[in-house]
Amino acid sequence: MFGGVFAWMHASVLGTAFPPDLIGFGVSAVAMVLVTLLTQKINAPRPLTDIEGNPIDLVDRVSTFRSGKSYSS
């Protein structure tokens, strides 16, 4: 977040050809992807759970591609 705000502030002062909002968004998006990729081994994503903490089965659910069925022709 701070990278995007920092880039936005400097882009508005420098008067670049691109809008400062676009530059700030681009820096924030790149930083978010980099931090996600660098920390996925340290802090791995947890499975989706219900209210009791039991993992939710993602097979044959609406809007998921893990149906177990083959839709190829």
Token pair recorded at residue 60: 């044959």
Q: Where are the domains of the chain?
A: 2-39
CA dist 71 and 20 (Å) reads 45
Condensed to tens digits (0 to 9), the pLDDT of residues 10-21 reads 787 787 787 888
Contacts of range 48-56, beta carbons closer than 8 Å, 24 or more positions apart: none
Question: Is residue 73 over pLDDT 50?
Answer: no
* Tokens standing for residue 56: 């939710």
* Entry pTM: 0.55
Q: Is the pLDDT of residue 72 over 60?
A: no
The per-residue pLDDT for range 15-52, each reduced to its tens digit, is 778 788 888 888 889 999 998 888 888 887 788 888 99
**Residue 8 and residue 22: Cα distance in Å, rounded?**
8
